[in-house]
Structure formats: structure tokens, C-alpha cells
């Protein structure tokens, strides 16, 4: 087996770190090996060194300028790294005019360069020719919403559903675009039209069930839950768990959620199990909530020793990325904005230096965790040192909250650990009476109306990183004036010790 073949095998096994040395050796001896450069780009990308990936893909593209897959990799890598990728995506659309992914990438690249009108025009044109292009519809409606259009952001779905009235997937995506905003009358209207055009479908019934349960239509929700009692679906189970919690049916909610802890949906259900066990514990003195939250809670603060100059530079870089006028519909931000993409992949040197400090803090946090517990969502993960050194960010973003801004209580199902690095905090006078502007843990979502107080409150300090379990409910408290800038991230989950998902 050649070095390139062995490197490719390592990549397929998820060990890009083992592929990189082999590819370096190959390129030292054969610098014109386009495949080796391309594989090196994928390896660096997997290791989340995006600027190195850009260099490798650039070398591969120079050697094979007509290879569409290499050009796509280069364009995407430039976009992830925060470089302009417009020219590369334009070139790709010329090379592969039928590839809608290339047009999606071009629209994102144009928007990143501030060319919102061109990006919207490009999507509108392609959707006119391809009305069933779901990714295009999602991107266009999201772009319009974050640009401040809260009234007509989903008009593209309306037009497509008129053209293709029997395409259930279009109706469901249109429904979801309003459901994530809790716009229940619009949801009901869309579902009614969908049933007229497509007839009865289980997915439409589940959507109606979700709306009834979340909007407070108790009688209708109860009927729909009974009608779908034999359906094994995580969306239904989550709606039922929340519905039962709202109505104080704690044991029933527990029975609805527990089976899903053995599935890939476990990280979505563990936070609700925490609320249920806390409520049951308050009634009967049960200790399961203590076990789950590993009292004292695993929330730890790390002073990253950032100088005033370093803080100011980071604030400047992050503020430049806050271009949206409104937060994304599915995010927890209220009264501010949140960036998209994984900003710790970007090329700016201050972010590279910060990334090293963050990884060091994460490793320190993991090393301080209590003894492993095979069935625990936090403590049941593998902690092999070789994996710790390769911790991956499953997401990273910045949040800019303004006067009266806050984050609603939420969790991060795609992470194992979550973090908030406070970079700019309003003055004590601007914040108002404590705990205004503080980070809170353990407060349930307000819409559940549960009599549970936060378990822990953290006063933010500029330059302090707070690490905590990704399944832990957390929110920020509104503040009177000023601006609150943070960088947040999730750490990708490691495998469970037992090999089970929950």
C-alpha cells in the first residue's frame, strides 16, 4: 500500500492526524502529486486547520484546474476560513452549471462579502428554475429574515407550493420556517393548505400535534397524542414530554423521555430528564437529579489571561462579523445578533492564538472531571488523552446582545461540552441590579412554567471562559443598557465508554 493509499485509509477511519505525516512525506518527494495535495486539504480540514487546508486545496487546484471536486473543496475551504470565495464559486458554476450546491455556496460567499442583493437575486433565479430545491429555499428565507424581513421572509415557499402543490416536503419546510418562530396561526394556515393539496399524512398529523401542544390547545393535543399513540418518533416524544411537564404529569413525562436515552436523540432528552428528576426530587427527596447534575455542578471558569490589547483586538474581529440585522430564527438570542459558520476556523491570527488557549482550557476541564460513569451524558464519554489533544469544535459563534438583550434558556444537543468566553461586558451601572447580564444555569424554559429556580448564577468577567455540560440548561439575564459580546463554542462528543448512545 502506498503512502497516499494509507493516508486515504486513515482519513476514512477518522484519523486525519495519522494521514498528515504520510502526506507531508509524499509531497516532499513528489510535490506535483495533485491527489496528495487534495487529501492533505481534507486532512487539515478534518483537524480544523482551515488555512492549511486552503493552501493544500490551492496547490491541488493549480495542478488540476478542471477538477470540479477539487475546486469545490477549495471554494468551501476559503469560505470556512473567512476568505472571499466568490470568484472560486463563480468558476465552479461555470465548470458545473447544473450543480445547485455550487450556487448555494456562491450565494453564501456573496452574502459574506456584503453582496446581499446579488445573493438573494441568485437564489431567486435558481429557485424559479428549480422550485423543489429545499436547501435553496431554506437559505433564501433565512437570509431574508436575518436581513430584517420578518413579514415576507417565507414568500419563496408560498410561491413554490403554488407551483408544486403536491410536494409534501415543501409544505413541511414552509411550516418549519414559522414553527421555529412560534407563529402558530401561520403554521395552522400552512398545514391546512398542505392537507388540502396533499391529503392526510402522518408528518402533517405530527406537525398539527406539535402546534397544538406548544400553543396551548390542550384538548386538541390530547386527541392527537391518542391518535398517534403507536408512533415511535422523537418529535412526538419530545412534544409529549413537554406537554406532560406543563401539566404536572411528572411520572408520565419521565416514561415518555426515558426510552429515548438509548438512542441518538439522547442529548435532546437528557435536559428534560434533569427537569423531571429535579421536580420529583423536590417532592420525594429522590437523588437522581443530584447524580445527573453531578453536584456540585460541573461549571468551571478559566481566566485566559488575555491582555487589554488582546481583548480589544478580539472584540474588533468579532464585531466585524456581526452583519445581520436580526438573529437566526432557530437561535436563543433575543435583542441582539449571532454569527453563523464555525468562526474558530477563520484565518485571523487573533482567533488562531485564542483557539490554542481554548483547547488548553478544555483539556484542563476534562482532566478535572469526576470519575467516569458509563451511563452519564457528561461523565460517560471517553477521555483518552490522545483524543483530548484533538478536541474538535462542533460549532463556534459570537453573540452580541444589546440593551435589554438576553438568551432564552436552551441547551446544545450537538455538543458534549459548551462554553462562553466573555469579551465585552457593560459596566455595573449599565447592567443594572444583579443578576442582570449574568449567565444562569438550570433555569427551565419559560414556556414550561415550572417552579424551578436557576441552580447556579455566574457573574461574567471580560477574559473569563466558562465551560459546562452541553446538556445543561443555560440562559442570560436581560440588562439595562450597553452591549455584551461573547464567543461561544461546543466540543464535539467523544464515544460513550459503554459504546451505547446514552
Q: What is the CA radius of gyration of the chain?
A: 24
Cα–Cα distance for residue pair 288/294, rounded to 1 Å? 10
CA atoms within 13 A on the CB side of 86: 12
Q: How far is Cα 287 from Cα 309, in angstroms, rounded to an integer?
A: 47
- Two domains, one topology: 3-149 and 300-491: no
Question: Which stretches does DSSP call E strand in 44-124?
Answer: none
Predicted pLDDT of residue 389: 54
Read off the pTM.
0.93
Pairing of strands 417-424, 464-469: antiparallel
User: For residue 230, what pLDDT is reported?
Assistant: 95
Q: What ranges do the domains of the chain cover?
A: 3-149, 150-231, 232-293, 300-491
- Side-chain half-sphere CA neighbours of 403 within 13 A: 5
What is d(CA 496, CA 29) in angstroms, rounded to the nearest whole number? 41
Q: Give the torsion sign (CA, 198, 201, 203, 208).
A: positive
The per-residue pLDDT for 21 is: 96
- Check residue 285 and give its pLDDT: 66
> CA-CA distance, 337 to 461, in Å (whole number)?
20
In this structure, are residues 397 and 339 in contact, taking their beta carbons and an 8 Å threshold?
A: yes
Grid cell at residue 86:
466568490
* Per-residue confidence (pLDDT) for residue 386, from 0 to 100: 46
Q: Find residue 400's DSSP bridge partners.
A: 337, 485
Nearest to 465 by CA among 378, 355, 337: 355
Look up residue 297 and give its three cell numbers.
455542578
Report the C-alpha gap between 430 and 403 in whole angstroms: 9
Between CA 114 and CA 197 the distance in angstroms is: 39
Question: Exposed (0-12), middle (13-18) or buried (19+): which is 193, by Cβ within 10 Å?
Answer: middle
Q: 431 φ, ψ to 5°?
A: -65, -45
The mean pLDDT value for 403-415 works out to: 93
Which of 103-117, 154-168, 294-308 is the least confident region?
A: 294-308
pLDDT one-digit tens code per residue, 426-457? 999 999 999 999 999 999 999 999 999 999 99
> Nearest-5° angle of CA 316, CA 470, CA 241?
130
Question: Cis before residue 313, ω within 30 degrees of 0?
Answer: no
Give strand pairing partners of 469. 417
For 366-388, the DSSP string reads HHTS-S--TT-TTTTB---HHHH
Separation CA 149–CA 146 (nearest Å) = 7
Residue 173 has pLDDT above 50, yes or no: yes
For residue range 238-294, what is the model confidence (pLDDT) as tens digits? 999 999 999 999 999 999 999 999 999 999 999 999 999 999 987 776 788 888 987
Q: Single out the residue of 234, 179, 229 nearest to residue 208, CA to CA.
A: 179
Q: Which residues are CB-contacts of 433 (< 8 A; sequence separation ≥ 6)?
A: none
**Residues of the chain with pLDDT > 70: what percent?**
97
SS3 category, 84: coil
How much is the pLDDT for 327? 78
Contacts of 88 (CB under 8 A, 6+ apart): 71, 74, 75, 78, 109
Encode pLDDT of 126-151 as tens digits. Answer: 999 999 999 999 999 999 999 888 89
464 phi and psi, to 5 degrees? -100, 130
Could you identify the residue written with the cell 481583548? 311
Residues in the chain: 502
Please state, in angstroms and rounded to a whole number, the distance separating the CA atoms of residues 297 and 286: 17
CATH topology of domain 3-149: 1.25.40
The three cell numbers locating residue 221: 393535543
CB 250 within 8 Å of CB 242: no
Under 8 Å between Cβ of 77 and 54 = yes
Confidence of residue 390 (pLDDT cuts 50, 70, 90): low
Region 374-400: mean pLDDT is 82
Output 176-182 pairs: Cβ under 8 A, ≥24 positions apart.
177/138, 177/141, 177/153, 177/329, 178/154, 179/207, 179/210, 179/211, 180/329, 180/330, 181/329, 182/214, 182/215
Task: pLDDT band for 502, please (50, 70, 90 cuts).
Answer: very low
* Contact assessment for residue 268 and residue 414, using Cβ atoms and an 8 Å cutoff: no
Pairing of strands 464-469, 456-458: unpaired
> Would you call 423 helix, strand, or coil by DSSP?
strand
Task: Please say whether the beta carbons of 6 and 16 come within 8 A.
Answer: no
Tell me which fold the domain 300-491 belongs to. Answer: Jelly Rolls (2.60.120)
Amino acid at each position: 500500500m502506498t503512502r497516499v493509499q494509507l493516508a486515504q485509509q486513515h482519513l476514512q477511519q477518522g484519523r486525519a492526524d495519522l494521514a498528515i505525516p504520510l502526506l507531508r512525506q509524499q509531497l516532499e518527494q513528489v510535490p506535483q502529486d495533485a491527489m496528495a495535495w487534495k487529501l492533505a486539504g481534507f486532512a487539515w480540514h478534518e483537524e480544523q486547520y482551515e488555512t492549511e487546508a486552503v493552501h493544500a486545496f490551492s496547490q491541488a487546484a493549480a495542478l488540476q484546474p478542471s477538477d470540479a471536486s477539487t475546486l469545490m473543496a477549495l471554494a468551501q475551504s476559503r469560505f470556512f476560513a473567512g476568505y472571499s470565495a466568490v470568484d472560486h464559486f463563480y468558476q465552479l458554476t461555470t465548470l458545473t452549471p447544473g450543480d445547485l450546491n455550487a450556487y448555494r455556496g456562491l450565494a453564501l460567499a456573496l452574502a459574506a462579502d456584503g453582496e446581499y442583493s446579488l445573493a438573494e437575486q441568485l437564489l431567486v433565479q435558481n429557485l424559479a428554475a428549480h422550485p423543489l430545491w429545499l436547501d435553496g429555499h431554506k437559505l433564501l428565507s433565512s437570509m431574508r429574515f436575518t436581513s430584517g424581513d420578518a413579514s415576507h421572509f417565507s414568500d419563496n415557499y408560498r410561491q413554490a407550493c403554488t407551483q408544486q402543490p403536491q410536494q409534501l416536503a415543501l409544505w413541511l419546510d414552509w411550516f418549519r420556517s414559522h414553527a421555529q418562530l412560534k407563529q402558530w396561526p401561520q403554521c395552522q394556515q400552512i398545514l391546512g393548505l398542505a392537507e388540502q393539496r396533499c391529503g392526510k399524512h402522518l408528518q402533517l398529523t405530527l406537525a398539527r400535534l406539535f402546534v397544538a401542544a406548544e400553543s396551548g390547545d390542550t384538548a386538541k393535543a390530547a386527541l392527537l397524542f391518542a391518535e398517534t399513540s403507536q408512533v415511535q418518533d422523537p418529535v412526538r416524544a419530545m412534544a409529549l414530554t413537554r406537554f406532560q411537564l406543563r401539566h404536572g404529569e411528572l411520572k408520565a413525562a419521565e416514561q415518555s423521555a426515558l426510552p429515548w436515552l438509548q438512542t441518538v436523540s439522547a442529548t435532546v432528552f437528557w435536559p428534560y430528564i434533569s427537569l423531571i428528576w429535579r421536580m420529583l426530587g423536590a417532592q420525594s427527596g429522590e437523588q437522581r437529579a443530584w447524580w445527573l447534575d453531578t453536584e456540585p455542578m460541573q461549571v468551571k471558569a478559566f481566566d485566559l489571561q488575555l491582555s487589554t490589547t488582546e481583548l480589544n483586538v478580539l472584540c474588533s474581529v468579532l464585531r466585524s462579523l456581526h452583519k445581520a440585522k436580526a438573529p437566526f430564527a432557530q437561535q436563543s438570542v433575543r435583542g441582539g445578533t449571532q454569527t453563523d459558520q464555525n468562526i474558530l476556523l477563520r484565518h485571523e491570527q487573533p482567533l488562531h492564538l485564542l483557539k490554542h488557549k481554548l483547547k488548553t482550557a478544555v483539556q484542563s476541564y476534562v482532566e478535572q472531571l469526576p470519575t467516569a460513569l458509563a451511563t452519564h451524558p457528561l461523565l460517560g464519554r471517553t477521555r483518552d488523552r490522545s483524543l483530548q489533544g484533538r478536541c474538535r469544535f462542533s460549532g463556534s459563534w459570537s453573540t452580541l446582545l444589546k440593551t435589554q438583550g438576553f438568551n432564552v434558556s436552551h441547551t446544545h444537543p450537538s455538543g458534549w461540552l459548551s462554553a462562553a468566553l466573555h469579551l465585552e461586558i457593560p459596566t455595573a451601572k449599565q447592567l443594572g441590579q444583579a443578576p442582570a447580564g449574568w449567565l444562569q444555569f438550570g433555569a427551565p424554559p419559560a414556556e414550561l412554567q415550572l417552579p424551578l429556580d436557576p441552580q447556579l448564577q455566574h457573574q461574567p468577567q471580560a477574559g473569563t471562559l466558562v465551560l459546562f455540560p452541553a446538556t445543561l440548561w443555560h440562559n442570560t439575564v436581560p440588562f439595562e443598557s450597553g452591549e455584551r459580546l461573547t464567543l461561544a463554542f461546543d466540543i464535539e462528543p467523544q464515544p460513550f465508554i459503554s459504546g451505547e448512545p446514552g
